[in-house]
Chains A and B, each alone.
Chain A
Amino acid sequence: MAKDVQPLNLYTKSVGVKVLLSLFSGFMLLLIVGPLLWLAIHAFATEWLFPSYKPKGWTLDWFRKVFEVPTLVDAMKTSLIISPIVVLLSAVICLPAAYASARYNYWGRKSFLIIMFASNAFPKIGLFATIATLYYFLNLMGTLVGVIIIQVLGTIIFMTWIPAAAFAAVPKSLEEAARDAGAGKFRVFRTITLKMAMPGILVAMVMSFIYAFDEAQGTFLIGAPTIYTMPTAMYAIVETYPIQVTAVFSILLTIPSVLLIGLARKHIIGGQLAEGFQIK
């Protein structure tokens, strides 16, 4: 290992540059965190009107209110049921494809990955509209199955590309060593390949979950007016309830994703891949 390689030195002594950089970082932070903060405050504020710089008072009433509206509670339930199903279904469908594209050089492998990628570059609404016409024909409009399928479609990109890279990064010799040690093909996959690709797969699952949980376009088109998830219920909320309810709902919408990222973080960042183990 070359010890004389120094990290790129971007350290600066100039106070002016430092101040400028700090200001810039602060500004970026404000841009991103500002609206979230504003939202969070609204969720707990009794009332907060324009010229006043702080809310009149604090309350948890808005949360209670949200949980009192049956349609909103239903939307939450639907979201919490649908999203995990979408993630698991997507994993079951995509992981074998990801593994195949990483390990076998079959005909059309490249095209498969590129089409997967390219299909995501086009505006989704066009695809959804086409699917909707197909759904009318198949009687899937307004059904849970229809919504799940539409959400799975959107997660495919995460569930193929990221795990494919993770599988490809598992050195073949590690699988061969396991075969040599007496393990059959399936056991090798389960104990070596899958285990080592797990951080990548977890990332893909978290991203898929966040996507599915947040998906509104397709879900609204297919699900409404019988099935509402949290994001699609949002359309109605914005029109009929005060801003504080929107704020509460937004916060509720964020919780699962934040929780998931927190849970997966340990496995993703603290995993063996982060130990910097170098394998030829």
Chain B
Amino acid sequence: MANQSGEGLELVGLRKILGGRVIIDDLNLVVNKGEMVSLLGPSGCGKTTTLRMIAGFLIPESGKVFLAGKDVTEIGPEKRPSAMVFQNYALWPHMTVFKNVAYPLKVRKMSKSEIEKRVHDVLEMVNLMHHKDSRPAQISGGEQQRVALARALVQEPDILLLDEPLSNLDAKLRVKVREDIRELQRRLGITTVIVTHDQDEALSISDRIAVMNEGRIEQFSTPQELYDAPQTEYVANFIGSLNRVTGSFENGAISAGSDVIGIRPEDVFFSKNQIPGSVAATVTLVVPRGHFYEVYLKRNDAELRAFVSSEVPKAGDAGFANITKALIYRDGKLVRTA
């Protein structure tokens, strides 16, 4: 079977049945060398299952897994050139931080001095040298996360796999750690697959995102493409915020019809003055959202939400609203943007 990814990762026609149910069906994915790809999707869509097939903990019923140009479908996890960071970190409580990180090297029968040097380097990299003799139970969640990352990186894997590595951290730490991970990944140039159900996370750190739905990949593209031109209604709904109206979209106005029109709230503008294409609207509700406001508008053709950050109107204000961009779906598929 052709392997297009070169040194990266390729999944071909993967199918997995668990508990008598088809969990993953005909899944295809090509990740280039050095690329960081997110598997994004709601709970239960099969992200972890996919990642575990890449790592080797699950063997697919059919299909193939190529890692770094080699068919590893039938090979156990210990022989694959991948390293995984588990969601709960899976650190060994009976070993110190140093021993945890040294374990993969010990298994590889490296010399003591070589192990010492490599572990020190990687602990230095994740800023944990001062904790090298601590037990996992004695350090914070964020530090445990970094130990888990260090244990994966010390193996110098061709493929780095991360299963919701940030879900156990608080919101602030999560943003910092995800940037650290991204920075490291770029610097080391490791091909990386990260599982997440947080779209912000996926949008901010990925080269490309694979949006999953019920065991299939709905769309696989860059964050920008995913946001600007979601190929299916499902993706449009899942990524970002969306006004969803049924009708027919023509010249900025909505008339009776059967298309699904998706309009991003940041593409809806309210103003006191009429401009070409705008339609009379009244403000029904204004909700503060931190650094912007969510403004609910009622036009005679639709009710829309707009995100406004300056010149915020008040509820009851009358004016005009225009739509600068709309996504038009027929049978769930994108047919055009207007």
Contacts and interface: CB of A to CB of B under 8 A. Distances in A.
B282 interface: no
Interface stretch (B16-24, B101-109, B209-217, B265-273): B101-109
Contact of A183 (B56, B83, B88, B107): B107
Given A182-B108, A184-B78, A177 B93 contact: no
Given A173-B88, A181-B103, A182-B155, A277 B76 contact: no
Nearest to B151: A181
A180 B78 contact: yes
Interface in B249-266: none
Contacts of B184: none
Given A176-B57, A275-B135, A182 B104 contact: yes
Interface string A256-280: 0000000000000001110111011
Contact of B104 (A176, A181, A192, A275): A181
Interface in B82-131: 82-84, 86, 88, 90-94, 103-104, 107-108
B332 to A, nearest CB: 37
Contacts of B93: 196, 272-273, 275, 277, 279
Contacts of A124: none
B108 A174 contact: no
A177 B90 contact: yes
Interface range on chain B (Cβ under 8 Å from partner): 20 to 34
A279 B137 CA distance: 10
Contact of B90 (A173, A271, A273): A173
B326 interface: no
B142 interface: no
Interface in A159-197: 171, 173-174, 176-184, 187, 191-192, 195-196
Nearest to A278: B137
B165 interface: no
Interface residues of A, number: 25
B20 to A, nearest CB: 15
Contact of B86 (A173, A182, A195): A173
B92 A177 contact: yes
B90 A272 contact: no
A280 B107 contact: no
B226 interface: no
Contacts of A192: 92
Contacts of B137: 272, 275-277
Contacts of A181: 78, 83, 103-104, 107, 151, 155
B236 interface: no
A180 B83 contact: yes
A47 B144 CA distance: 65
Given A275-B137, A276-B137, A179 B90 contact: no
B107 A272 contact: no
A169 to B, nearest CB: 11
Nearest to A176: B57
B65 to A, nearest CB: 15
Nearest to A271: B94
Contacts of A178: 92, 103
A174 B90 contact: yes
A187 B76 contact: no
B90 A277 contact: no
Contacts of A173: 86, 88, 90
B311 to A, nearest CB: 45
Q: Which of A171, A195, A272 has the most CB of B within 10 A?
A: A272
A276 B136 CA distance: 11
A180 B82 CA distance: 8
A174 B151 CA distance: 13
Interface string B125-154: 000000000011110000000000001000
A196 B84 contact: no
Given A182-B104, A272-B93, A280 B88 contact: yes
Contacts of B138: 275
B135 A272 contact: yes
A190 to B, nearest CB: 12
A176 B103 contact: no
A196 B88 contact: no
30 contacts: A173-B86, A173-B88, A173-B90, A176-B57, A176-B90, A177-B84, A177-B86, A177-B91, A178-B92, A180-B78, A180-B83, A180-B84, A181-B78, A182-B79, A182-B107, A182-B108, A183-B78, A191-B103, A192-B92, A196-B93, A271-B94, A272-B93, A272-B94, A273-B93, A277-B93, A277-B135, A277-B136, A277-B137, A279-B90, A280-B88
Interface of B: 55-57, 76-79, 82-84, 86, 88, 90-94, 103-104, 107-108, 135-138, 151, 155
Interface of A: 171, 173-174, 176-184, 187, 191-192, 195-196, 271-273, 275-277, 279-280
